[in-house]
Amino acid sequence: MKGSVFASPFAKPFKGRIFAVNPNASEILGVKCIPSVKDAAGPVDLAVICVPAALVPTVLRECAEKKVKAAIVVSAGFAETGPEGRQKQEEIAAICRNAGMLLLGPNCLGVLRPASSLNASFGLGMPPSGGMAFVSQSGALADSVIDWALEQMYGFSALVSLGNSAGLNEADFVDWLASDAQTKAITLYLEGVRNGKAFMAAVRKAVANDKKVFVLKGGREGKGLKAVSSHTAAMAGSYPVFAAAMRQCGATVVDSLEELFVLGDAASKQPAARNGVAVITNGGGAGVLCADYCHRYGVQLVDLREKTLARLDRGGNMHSAYSRSNPLDLIGDALPERYAAALETLLSENYVHGLIVVQTLQTMTDSIGDAKAVVAASRRHPKKPVLCVFMGGPYSKEGICFLHEHGIPNFQDPLLAVKAMAALVGKI
Amino acid sequence: MQLAFGEARKLLNRYGLKTVRSSLCADRLGVLDASNRLRPPFVLKVVGGDVLHKTEKSLIFLNLESREDLEIALRKLSKRAKGLKFDGFLLQEQLKGVELILGGSRDPVFGPVVAFGSGGVLTELYKDISLRVAPFSKKDALEMIAETKASAFFTGEGFRGRKASRDRVASALVSLSKLMAERGEVSEVDLNPVIATQEAATIVDARVICHG
C-alpha cells in the first residue's frame, strides 16, 4: 500500500488518523502496526483491506465487530477467478450486508478523494483536486489515468475503481456523485451495468443537478446481442440499447478514453449553455474546420448582427479585412488587443451563448497575451462557456499553460473543441 | 409463443394502437364474403404458424381490386402455402402511405425497449433504427423520430410527395412503450409495416411473442 493512505511523495498527507493493521509486522512504512482492527483506539470509518483472498472473510468479520462503516477490498481472487471465487465473493458480500457495512470491491484499486488527500487505493500518485469524477470498472485503467492526469493537469473530485462490485456498484456512486458539491462532471468507464433502471435513475439525478455525465463503454461487440425484434436483431444489440438508454437519461456517450477525459475536463471547468455560439480565429483554415464540425455535431453558429459588427468597427481594433461573419476571422496579424476587443464584444451579446477561440501560430502571435485576454473576458462572463484551440507546441506552451491554470480548456484539434462545446450545449 | 392474429390485434387495440381493417378467413368463401364488407384495393396473405417472411415466400398479394383478382390470388396462395401450418387467409384493406417499423423487445439490462425506423423489406439493409427504454414520453418519441432518416417524411413538404403525421406516429410509439412496460409477459413485438398517413398510423402486420 505504498503511496496510498500512507505517506506518498506525490501527495499531501491525509489529515485523518490512520492505523496499520498486521499481526506479524511491527510497522508498515513507518506506521506502527496493531494486530487487529479491533485494537484500534476509537471508531473506524473505513478499512482498506489488501490481505490474501483467503483471509478477507476473517478480516471483514473483525471489521464488522468493530462496527467499521465501510470496507474497500483491494484483494483479488474472487468472482473473476471462477465459481469458487464467486462463492467466496458471495460470502464477503453477505458479511458486509449483515453488518450494515458498505463494501467496495473486491478486486479493485480503491478510492481517491484528492481534495481530502485521501488515497484509499494502491494507486501511486494523487491527481490534482478538481471538478471531474471518474468511476471505472477497470482498476488498471484508473491507475494509468491518475498518472495521465498528473501530466495533463486534469483535476478530479473523486476516482473510484469498482472492481467486482459485490457491494456498491456504478449506480450507487453516480447517485452519490450527483449530490457531491465538488463534482461538476462525471466520467465513467463501464463494461456492463447491473441494473439498467437504477443506473438510469442515478444519471438522471446527476443531470438534473446540472452535472454532465460522460460514458465510455467497453465490450460493445460480441455475442449475446439481444434482438429488438426478428427484423432488427442484427442492428439492435445490447450496445445500441445501452447507448440509447444513456442518451435518453441525458448522458453523453463517447468513443475513446481521450474523449472521455477531454470532454469531462471541459465540462468540469466550463458552464453548460444554450445552443448558439461564435468562433473567433486568427486563421481561416482552423475557422473553416470549426464551422464544419459545428455543423456535424449540431452546434449552431449564430449570425453576427449588424449592431455587433458596428461595435467591432467602432472599437477601432479590427483589421479592415476582418471577416465580419461567424467564424470571426481577425486576420493573421491579430494581437492580444484585437482578441480582447472581439472576445468582449461577442460575449456581451445576449445571443452569443459561448465561444471557441482559435489561435494559430503566426509571426506576430503573442500566445501569452492572447491567453490573458481570453481568461480576463471569460471571468467577466462566467455563465458562457469559453473553449480554446491554441494550436502549436513550444512557441504556444506558455499561453496554453496559462489557459489551463485558469480553467480554460485548450484543444490541439478543433474537432475535440467542437465536441466539447456540443456536450456543453446539450447536442451530444 | 406467438399470439394468434386476433389476440394480437385485441392487445394492440387495447393500448390505442390502430390496426388496419381486416378479416381473418378460414377459406375461399370466407375471403369472398369478407371482401363485400371491406373497401378495395385489398391485400391478401397467409398468416400464422410457420409463416414469417411473407414477401420472400410470395405469400402475399397486393393491389387486388376485383373478385377475379381475389380468385387468382387465392388459387396461387393455396398452392404456395401447401405443407405449411397456417391460421388462414387475412384479407386487409390496402393502405398507401409511409412504411414504418415499430418494435418492442426486452433487454437483459434495461428491460423493455422500443425501436422505430423506416419500414419495408429494406429495413435490415439501411439499419435506420432508433431505440428508447420504455416507458417514455411523447417528447422522447419525437426525438426518436428525429434521429432517423424517416424523419424526412414528417417535415412540412414531406419526402418526394410522401408525408405523414409526426404526432400520430409519436403517439403510437408512446402507446407501444406503455404496452411493453406494463405487459411483462410480452417479450417481443414486431409491427412491420406500420403505414403512416397525415391522418393516422395504422398497423398492417403484427407479430407479438409472449413468454411460456
In a domain? residue B73:
yes
In a domain? residue B121:
yes
Whether residue B146 is found in the same domain as residue B168 = yes
Q: What confidence score (pLDDT) does residue A230 get?
A: 34
Q: In A, which residues are within 8 Å of B136 by CB distance?
A: 248
Whether residue B37 is found in the same domain as residue B114 = no
Whether residue B156 is found in the same domain as residue B89 = no
Q: Nearest residue of B to residue A232 by CA position?
A: B124
| In contact, A326 and A301? CB cutoff 8 Å | yes
Whether residue B146 is found in the same domain as residue B117 = yes
Interval A348-366 mean pLDDT? 95
Where a domain ends, among B44, B74, B93?
B93
* pLDDT tens-digit map of A168-210: 999 999 999 999 999 999 999 998 888 899 999 999 999 999 9
Question: How many helices and strands (H and E) does chain B possess?
Answer: 6, 11
Residue A118 CB partners (closer than 8 Å, separation 6+): A5, A14, A16, A111, A112
Whether residue B182 is found in the same domain as residue B113 = yes
Where a domain ends, among B48, B78, B93?
B93
Domain ranges for chain A: 20-104, 110-269, 278-424
CB pair distance less than 8 Å for B109 and A234? no
Q: Which of B52, B109, B127 sits opposite A238 (nearest CB)?
A: B109
Q: Which of A196, A231, A242 sits opposite B103 (nearest CB)?
A: A231
Whether residue B107 is found in the same domain as residue B202 = yes
Number of structural domains chain B divides into? 2
* pLDDT tens-digit map of A277-305: 999 999 989 999 999 999 999 999 999 99
Q: Return the HEC string of A288-320.
A: HHHHHHHHHHCCCECCCCHHHHHHHHHHCCCCC
Where a domain ends, among B93, B124, B146?
B93
CB pair distance less than 8 Å for B103 and A232? yes
* pLDDT tens-digit map of A73-118: 999 999 888 899 999 999 999 999 999 999 999 999 899 999 998 8
Whether residue B164 is found in the same domain as residue B138 = yes
B45: domain CATH number is 3.30.1490.20
Q: Nearest residue of A to residue B119 by CA position?
A: A231
SS3 content of chain A, % helix, strand, coil (to 5): 40, 20, 45
Question: To the nearest whole angstrom, how far is the Cα of A246 from the nearest Cα of chain B?
Answer: 9
Q: In B, which residues are within 8 Å of A226 by CB distance?
A: 105-108
Q: What confidence score (pLDDT) does residue A1 get?
A: 47
In a domain? residue B15:
no
Whether residue B62 is found in the same domain as residue B115 = no
Q: Is the peptide bond before B193 cis (omega within 30 degrees of 0)?
A: yes
Give residue ranges of A with CB < 8 Å to any B CB: 192-197, 200, 226-232, 234-236, 238, 240-242, 244-245, 248
Whether residue B153 is found in the same domain as residue B197 = yes
Question: To the nearest whole angstrom, how far is the Cα of B34 from the nearest Cα of chain A?
Answer: 30
Whether residue B106 is found in the same domain as residue B204 = yes
CB pair distance less than 8 Å for B130 and A244? yes
Q: Which of A193, A228, A232 sits opposite B109 (nearest CB)?
A: A193
CB pair distance less than 8 Å for A230 and B188? yes
Question: To the nearest whole angstrom, how far is the Cα of B140 from the nearest Cα of chain A?
Answer: 8
Q: Return the HEC string of A212-254.
A: EEEEEECCCCCCCCCCCCCCCCCCCCHHHHHHHHHHHCCCEEE
Q: What's the CA gap between A388 and A401, in Å, rounded? A: 12
* pLDDT tens-digit map of A387-419: 999 998 888 999 999 999 999 999 999 999 999
- Considering the four listed CATH numbers 3.30.70.20, 1.50.10.10, 3.30.70.260, 3.40.50.261, the one that applies to the domain covering A278-424 is 3.40.50.261
Q: C-alpha cell of A199?
A: 443506473
CB pair distance less than 8 Å for A248 and B109? no
Q: Which of B113, B123, B140 sits opposite A231 (nearest CB)?
A: B123
Q: What confidence score (pLDDT) does residue A234 get?
A: 33
Q: Which residue has the cell 458480500?
A: A93
- Cβ contacts below 8 Å, chain A against chain B, sum to 91
Whether residue B108 is found in the same domain as residue B83 = no
Q: In B, which residues are within 8 Å of A190 by CB distance?
A: none
Q: In B, which residues are within 8 Å of A231 by CB distance?
A: 101, 103, 123-124, 190, 192
Q: In A, which residues are within 8 Å of B112 by CB distance?
A: none
Q: What is the DSSP letter of A128?
A: P
Q: What's the CA gap between A40 and A33, in Å, rounded? A: 10
SS3 content of chain B, % helix, strand, coil (to 5): 30, 30, 35
Q: What's the CA gap between A396 and A399, in Å, rounded? A: 6
pLDDT tens, residue order, chain B (212 aa): 888 888 999 999 999 999 999 999 999 999 999 999 999 999 999 887 666 555 556 788 999 999 999 999 999 998 888 877 777 899 999 999 999 999 999 998 999 999 999 876 666 666 788 999 999 999 999 999 999 988 888 887 778 778 889 999 999 999 999 999 999 999 999 998 899 999 999 999 899 999 86
- Considering the four listed CATH numbers 3.90.1150.150, 3.30.230.10, 3.50.50.60, 3.40.50.261, the one that applies to the domain covering A110-269 is 3.40.50.261
Pairing state between β A252-254 and A278-281: unpaired
Whether residue B28 is found in the same domain as residue B80 = yes
Q: Which fold has domain A20-104?
A: Rossmann fold (3.40.50)
Question: How many helices and strands (H and E) does chain A possess?
Answer: 13, 17
Q: In A, which residues are within 8 Å of B106 by CB distance?
A: 226
Q: What confidence score (pLDDT) does residue A18 get?
A: 86
Domain that holds residue B85: 21-93
